[in-house]
Structure 1
Amino acid sequence: MNLPEGKKVYFASDNHLGAPTNKKSFPREQKFVRWLDQVKEDAAAIFLLGDLFDFWFEYKTVVPKGFTRTLGKLAEITDAGIPVYFFVGNHDLWMDDYFEQELNIPVYHSPKEFTFNNSTFLVGHGDGLGPGDLGYKRMKKVFTNSFSKWLFRWLHPDIGVRLGQYLSVKNKLISGDEDVVFLGEENEWLVQYCKRKLETKHRDHFVFGHRHLPMEIALNETSKYTNLGDWIHYYTYGVFDGKEMILKTFEKE
């Protein structure tokens, strides 16, 4: 994609709407909708890199209620012809075709490469990538197994959604009650993942979420890793103006 003059590409991740409760996350949702309303004015594309919801599961005819303002604003944006891309996170990995059918938003379950103005991007949520975290990687295989999803669908939505929401907010990091800290490049699994990717193919930018910590790290002289932070503590987002990729903070500029 060649960006038209004055147009930009926006990236956001880890809103965790619904955590710890819908009522308590509502001000964060309102803030996110204001951000969407602002960036649509000069957006060539918007990337949402997962964990938009703290829990999401699609039954054949049912999705979790709530988040009407977010979904409505996304519909307005795509109806206006602005493409939105969604990458599932570890909390909304059970997303199926609802976004594609209702909002015209393609949904990706693994990192994908894009090119803007001859700059290459590898984009994804970031969970389960790189060395380590073997316990989660095994758990993810169970969660994404078709038989596991089939079993969960046998739970009535009132039970299944409530159970999923309860288990999601049990994690202190996800509920926003605990800060994360930078571990150093050698211990940041996504940094190691990006460096390994560079061994086989050059990319200018690697953009991920998941860590809940805003980061911009030079991988070499021409490649950069950006972690988008979150919309619990930081309200940070990424923007590429056709030449430079930077992190910004919403309503603190």
Structure 2
Amino acid sequence: MTTLFISDLHLSADRPDITACFLHFMSTEARGIDALYVLGDLFEMWIGDDDDSPFHQQIKTAFRQLTDSGVPCYFIHGNRDFLIGKRFNQETGVQLLPEHTVVDLYGTPTLILHGDTLCTLDEGYQRYRKKVHNRFIQWLFFRLPLSYRQRIGDKMRSGSSQTNQTKSQSIMDVTPTEVVRVMAEHQVRQMIHGHTHRPDVHTLFVDEKAASRIVLGDWYDHGSVLVCNPQGCQLETRDFQPQ
């Protein structure tokens, strides 16, 4: 009995080493498990389900093969791929979940999320997030030609990288009081999220009771997987194969 969690792969055609590690993971380790959860930023950028590039088709095929084998796959949007929609769901069999979802993880109610909503001190990002999640703005965006959306996405990605270089690490990390508030709101003692690229297991207190916050790692230097079973959860890494 095993459930796996991954996030922040930032898959792109520019990083074949990450892609190879992910495809190997999907065809081996992910087979026969209870469930796979992807907690956002699967892709470096997603500008719409109509982007049928060979690279995207390769990733979608890997998910379809896994779900066809009987493994349930779930996805929560990240800040890079929040435009993944129903067509992706239909083509892959991956089930899209709300941004804050509570799951029963072997008897432990667990809140899962991407994690960007917890970074409340990053006010500039939160303003940006509110704008791009506006349904009307998204409706307008999807009516642009794919090539235009590609250029807009590239510009936004470049701007985000430059802006983050000027921000302090504390601003881009989660806000502890927001973590406690959200966990109390959902009445859980365990949280799993990504986004910050700081894999760790944190102990905290929610309503004067011990709780834990598990942070998933990114896939920039190696694969990162949270392996959970009835005995508990363990953060593990997976080496990239030589190209």
Relative to the length of structure 2, the TM-score reads 0.85
| 1:132 alignment partner in structure 2 | 121
| Match for residue 219 of structure 2 among 222, 231, 250 | 231
Are the equivalent residues in 1 in contact too, given 2:73–2:94 (CA < 8 A)? yes
* Aligned partner letter, 2:5: F
Give the count of matched residue pairs: 235
| Match for residue 241 of structure 1 among 221, 229, 241 | 229
- Separation in 1 of the partners of 2:127 and 2:191? 25
Task: Give the SS at the match of 1:36.
Answer: helix
Give the Å deviation of 1:73: 1.2
| 2:102 alignment partner in structure 1 | 113
Give the Å deviation of 1:204: 3.5
Q: Deviations over 1:209-241 (max 9, x none)?
A: 100121211124642111111011342111111
Are the equivalent residues in 2 in contact too, given 1:216–1:224 (CA < 8 A)? yes
Residue 197 of structure 2 corresponds to residue 212 of structure 1: yes
- Residues 92-101 or 186-195, more deviating: 186-195
Give the Å deviation of 1:14: 0.6
Give the Å deviation of 1:243: 2.1
Give the Å deviation of 1:153: 2.2
Give the Å deviation of 1:75: 0.5
1:77-88 correspondence to structure 2 within 5 Å:
77-88=66-77
* Aligned partner letter, 1:9: T
Cα gap change, 1:187 to 1:207, in 2 (>3 Å) = same
Are the equivalent residues in 2 in contact too, given 1:99–1:106 (CA < 8 A)? no
1:63-78 correspondence to structure 2 within 5 Å:
63-65=51-53, 66-78=55-67
- Residues 220-229 or 192-201, more deviating: 192-201
Q: Which runs of 5 or more structure 2 residues have no equivalent in the other structure?
A: none
Give the Å deviation of 1:197: 3.1
Give the Å deviation of 1:169: 4.1
Residue 1 of structure 2 corresponds to residue 12 of structure 1: no
* Aligned partner letter, 1:239: V
| Match for residue 178 of structure 2 among 151, 173, 193 | 193
Are the equivalent residues in 1 in contact too, given 2:8–2:42 (CA < 8 A)? yes
Are the equivalent residues in 2 in contact too, given 1:208–1:228 (CA < 8 A)? yes
| Match for residue 44 of structure 1 among 30, 34, 55 | 34
Task: Give the SS at the match of 2:154.
Answer: helix
Give the Å deviation of 1:162: 3.1
Cα gap change, 1:162 to 1:81, in 2 (>3 Å) = same
Cα gap change, 1:250 to 1:17, in 2 (>3 Å) = same
Q: Deviations over 1:120-160 (max 9, x none)?
A: 11001011225322221221121111221122123210121
| Match for residue 156 of structure 2 among 148, 167, 173 | 167
Q: Deviations over 1:48-80 (max 9, x none)?
A: 011111111226xx2252233321111011001
- Separation in 1 of the partners of 2:125 and 2:21? 31
Are the equivalent residues in 1 in contact too, given 2:193–2:214 (CA < 8 A)? yes
Give the Å deviation of 1:167: 2.4
| 2:20 alignment partner in structure 1 | 30
Percentage of identical aligned residues: 24
Are the equivalent residues in 2 in contact too, given 1:89–1:210 (CA < 8 A)? yes
Cα gap change, 1:190 to 1:85, in 2 (>3 Å) = farther
Are the equivalent residues in 2 in contact too, given 1:99–1:107 (CA < 8 A)? no
Considering only aligned residues, what root-mean-square deviation do their CA atoms show, in Å? Answer: 2.7
